[in-house]
């Protein structure tokens, strides 16, 4: 089996099963739109916009009508030069976990062969970049808890305050904020923002 690809850019997919599929072929940050959730959650699109100021984003949605709608929505909000458009082929079939095929009868990202996904992503692989980024940002949920950003009565307000400081929208969940912080800040920058010594 081939070694997993080290991808330095965040990859946006539609859902958790797409993310699980990509995790079979790559190491790196994989973000989800929660399907059509992106249309209802301003913080998600806000996160993608902010991340695009720091790094290119790879967009990989399904090839059906829903995937095209989601792709179009994200594409309209992010500068063209910061979005890498990746497309899967339109293949008829049904995902193993589903009892029925999709409305259009085609496979999504989760139904793609690993070899195909590997091939799609391989040109963006850069082991040095990912390893360096991982070493710079050992930020974890424990840090968020220690700094009152989760687990306290005023944690939501604290997250909103921190998000505002770095130009992210309010209302972010702890997981969404953590994903953003890991990409946008070094660990030292995070500690300085929350006023904690390393």
Tell me: do 120 and 170 sit in the same domain.
Answer: no
Q: Which domain holds residue 148?
A: 137-194
Tell me: do 76 and 173 sit in the same domain.
Answer: no
Tell me: do 156 and 180 sit in the same domain.
Answer: yes
Integer Cα distance of 69 and 14 in angstroms: 11
- Angle value at C-alpha 156, between 36 and 14, nearest 5 degrees: 20
| β-pair partners for 92 | 106
Q: Could you read off the pLDDT of 41-67 as tens digits, one per residue?
A: 888 888 899 889 888 999 999 888 888
pLDDT of residue 189: 87
Tell me: do 99 and 68 sit in the same domain.
Answer: yes
Tell me: do 15 and 44 sit in the same domain.
Answer: yes
- Kindly indicate the confidence band of residue 150, based on its pLDDT and cuts at 50, 70 and 90: very high
Contact partners, residue 59, CB within 8 Å, separation at least 6: 12, 71, 74, 75, 83, 84, 85, 86
pLDDT of residue 134: 46
Q: What is the CATH number of the domain that holds 84?
A: 3.40.1360.10
Q: What is the pTM of this model?
A: 0.71
Contact partners, residue 3, CB within 8 Å, separation at least 6: none
Integer Cα distance of 60 and 84 in angstroms: 9
Tell me: do 148 and 171 sit in the same domain.
Answer: yes
pLDDT of residue 1: 60
pLDDT of residue 72: 92
Tell me: do 27 and 115 sit in the same domain.
Answer: yes
Q: Could you read off the pLDDT of 108-146 as tens digits, one per residue?
A: 888 898 998 998 898 888 756 544 444 556 888 999 999
Please report, rounded to a whole number, the percentage of residues in the chain having pLDDT higher than 90. Answer: 36
Number of domains in the chain: 2
pLDDT of residue 159: 92
């Amino acid at each position: 089996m081939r070694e997993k690809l080290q991808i330095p850019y965040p990859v946006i997919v539609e859902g958790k099963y797409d993310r699980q599929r990509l995790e079979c072929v790559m190491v790196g940050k994989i973000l989800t739109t929660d399907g059509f959730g992106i249309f209802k959650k301003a913080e998600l699109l806000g996160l993608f916009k902010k991340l695009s100021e720091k790094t290119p984003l790879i967009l990989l949605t399904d090839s059906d009508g829903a995937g095209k709608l989601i792709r179009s929505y994200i594409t309209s909000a992010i500068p063209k030069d910061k979005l890498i458009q990746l497309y899967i082929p339109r293949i008829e079939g049904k995902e193993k976990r589903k009892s029925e095929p999709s409305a259009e009868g085609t496979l999504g990202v989760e139904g793609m062969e690993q070899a195909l996904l590997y091939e799609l992503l391989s040109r963006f692989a850069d082991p040095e970049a990912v390893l360096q980024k991982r070493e710079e940002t050992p930020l974890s949920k424990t840090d968020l808890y220690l700094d009152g950003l989760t687990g306290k009565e005023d944690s939501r307000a604290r997250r909103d305050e921190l998000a505002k400081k770095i130009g992210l929208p309010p209302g972010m969940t702890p997981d969404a904020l953590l994903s953003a912080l890991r990409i946008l800040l070094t660990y030292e920058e995070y500690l300085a923002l929350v006023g904690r010594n390393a």
